[in-house]
Amino acid sequence: MKTHAEFAKEDNLFKESCEKVGLPFKSHEKFGLKRQASKWRNKKGLAWKSRFSST
């Protein structure tokens, strides 16, 4: 199983969803996308909610 950091770097749908909602936020830049990757895998968070929206 991949770590959250590996997942965040390699999964294209996840990366596209994060870009769509402007992640990572400036205030959370030092954390990168590991936290959002964890939320994504638990079907939570901003990126997960926006994964199939067209806006």
pTM over 0.85: no
Contact 20, 52 (CB under 8 A): no
Confidence of residue 18 (pLDDT cuts 50, 70, 90): very high
The pair of structure tokens assigned to 52 is 């199939």
**What are the phi and psi torsion angles at 23 (to 5°)?**
-90, 150
Task: Output the pLDDT for position 51.
Answer: 86
Does residue 45 register a pLDDT over 70?
yes
Average pLDDT over residues 30-41: 89
